[in-house]
Structure 1
């Protein structure tokens, strides 16, 4: 029987799990990877799908009702569609979401929707093909835009996530706003975070959410969307006058939302993390295979970790996250 989620010392209730199915990715985004000496987890260290299903079972028993599958890039993992279908079969009613770079998504959208997918976040940092290739290390923008159209045609809720980079996001703001005016989707700019060595190297390209808001306001009239009706998570969301879509701004650096964070992260090798800005983790795999612990033991670890969840912005003042973004699920 599911139990209501515990409240931590800040009054936060964890109800959202981000599960990384792989640390591998077919892109080499400049803020995520240092492109020399890239290493990934060994195959035997990656959680099997059955282990991930058990972790989801444990999370649901603690009160989690939303699961987002992340990576790396989830679609590079073999049999990912089967995994999605199995989640939908075992946990009907679970709010199942996906974060993807969409380079491999085209042709799979209908099957994923039938498996239970309701919302998809697509990472796309530029609408200019050459700039996209420069940031991502691969020339896949046409494939991504095709997948965006397929998702909208299938009735999925679509959010396009762009890491805010000076010289890119500011220059391309009109193009992003035009896309939001024409299509029923959210454009969300996320402040670049100092996660991993590659993230630190992008500090000179940082551009804050307030500056982006001012830039956007020069091109279109914006109206704030109340958080209670925005389904926006940490984003400040704005409707566009005469537009079908919306603009969202996520500001973990300049206007953090840590006091309302309701999520846990599980990495592809089974480490539970309570905060993106903390390198502290809890091992789940040993408990999962312990004869006297199993799923119930994992649930107890999750509850204990949630009760001790830190305020991540406080951690940033003293340290940085050593793990690269693709290894912790974004």
Structure 2
């Protein structure tokens, strides 16, 4: 029986775990180059994450996503994944990565049946280096090619910014024409201390949809054919080009600002420093790291239940805001 039902009747079944706030890139919308990292002793140990994940699986969580920072910069991450898969074979396993460090791990990720989300905001090499601080686009594209060829379940996520990468929508979406993957464009969210978000950079999903329709016929995907585990905030379409070819993959939009999906939100976040966060737009956090270290796992259960009971509607927070919401940077939250 699921214990994780909030005051709005939403059933929490999805846990996002940030395994580190460290990253080998410095994407402008995520973190600044000189921002301090969380001290090592404040980061959850893998064993502690395993305990919390086991507890939350008992409480009704069915889907896990591991994020960062960049999860593959943390030593021992692949061994940790193997233990999670062995202990919880029925949990849906997801990983969000920048794609630069995946080369040695692709075959293992296929064996673990892990779905990969790759953050990729441009196909222009110079722009990639400008956005991320490193000239690593060829590595990402080669790893994408290898994963697609091997049959790794794959999504590409693009944070859409007007005047920055809006002209690249056709090229990025065309990845779905050739490969069996989802290319999803995400509205730039106004959050995080020092965020570069502004009205001038915000590109709403309705305008992205219109831009896509100038290049392809868009065929809506039947939501009824997606199982509950696979359903998420993205609206998805198959693409048909002017020659009548149907895409191998899908084009998607995530309207996290203009058309929020907060009324159906089913997720909690476990931050890199061991806090439960119930809403991306709200800085309210519940301390599970210190509770686990001083009081044990049953005390953590009570903290989680209290957190879920107070889970807000992010759309209401966003509506009240005049600018960026929340202070904690995205790299520490895990997105």
Matched, 1:215 2:211: yes
Contact 2:189 2:197 (C-alpha < 8 Å) held by counterparts: no
**Of 161, 164, 174, the match for 1:165:** 161
Rounded Cα–Cα distance in structure 1 between residues aligned with 2:141 and 2:31: 23
For normalisation by structure 2, the TM-score amounts to 0.93
Q: How far off its partner does 1:212 sit?
A: 0.2
TM-superposed deviation, 1:202 = 4.5
Match of 1:24 among 22, 25, 31: 22
CA distance in 2, matches of 1:79, 1:210: 42
Could you tell me which residue of structure 2 aligns to residue 113 of structure 1? 110
Which secondary structure does the structure 1 equivalent of 2:27 belong to?
Answer: coil
Structure 1 residues 126 and 322: CA distance shift in structure 2, 3 A: same
Q: Is the CA contact 1:235–1:249 (under 8 Å) kept in the aligned structure 2?
A: yes
CA contact (8 A) 2:63 2:92 kept: yes
Q: 2:93 is paired with a residue of what secondary structure?
A: strand
- Distance, in Å, in 2 between the alignment partners of 1:232 and 1:244 is 19
The match for 1:237 is: 236
Deviations 1:83-115 (A, max 9, x none): 11111111121111100001101121112232x
From the superposition, tell whether residues 125 and 198 of structure 1 become closer, same or farther in structure 2 (CA, over 3 Å).
farther
Q: Write out aligned runs for 1:285-324 (5 A).
A: 285-291=289-295, 294-319=296-321, 320-324=325-329
- Matched residue SS, 1:287: helix
Q: Does 1:147 align with 2:152?
A: no
TM-superposed CA distance for 1:200, in Å, is 4.1
TM-score by length of 1: 0.94
**Which residue of 2 is the match for residue 224 of structure 1?**
220
| Segment of structure 1 superposing worse, 76-85 or 193-202 | 193-202
Could you say which residue in structure 1 is the equivalent of 2:91?
Answer: 94
Check the 8 A contact 1:192/1:199 in 2, yes or no: no
Go from structure 1 to structure 2 and tell me whether the alpha carbon gap of 1:113 and 1:295 turns closer, same or farther (over 3 Å shift).
Answer: farther
Measure the CA separation in 1 of the matches of 2:157 and 2:67. 13
* Residue 334 (structure 2) aligns with: 329
**Equivalent-residue separation in structure 2 for 1:208 and 1:193 (angstroms):** 10
Q: Identify unmatched segments of 5+ residues in structure 2.
A: 241-245
Residues 28 and 196 of structure 2 are in contact (CA less than 8 Å); yes or no, is this contact kept in structure 1?
A: no
Instruction: List aligned pairs for 1:49-128, cutoff 5 A.
Output: 49-114=46-111, 116-128=112-124
Q: 1:166 to 1:299 in 2, by over 3 A?
A: same
Q: How far did 1:199 drift?
A: 2.8
**Residues 121, 161 of structure 1: 8 Å contact kept:** yes
* Separation in structure 2 between the aligned mates of residue 238 and residue 264 of structure 1, nearest angstrom: 27
Aligned length: 324
Structure 1 counterpart SS, 2:200: helix
- Distance in 2, matches of 1:314 and 1:26, equals 35
Q: Specify every segment of 5 or more residues in structure 1 that has no aligned partner in the other structure, as ranges.
A: none
Query: In structure 2, which of residues 43, 46, 56 is the aligned counterpart of residue 46 of structure 1?
Result: 43
In the TM superposition, residue 34 of structure 1 has moved relative to its aligned partner by 2.8
Measured after TM superposition, the shift of residue 6 of structure 1 is 3.5
SS in 2 for 1:290: helix
User: What's 2:11 paired with?
Assistant: 13
Root-mean-square deviation over aligned CA pairs: 1.5
- Give the 3-state SS of the residue equivalent to 2:99 in structure 1: coil
- Could you tell me whether the CA contact under 8 Å between 1:72 and 1:329 is conserved in 2? yes
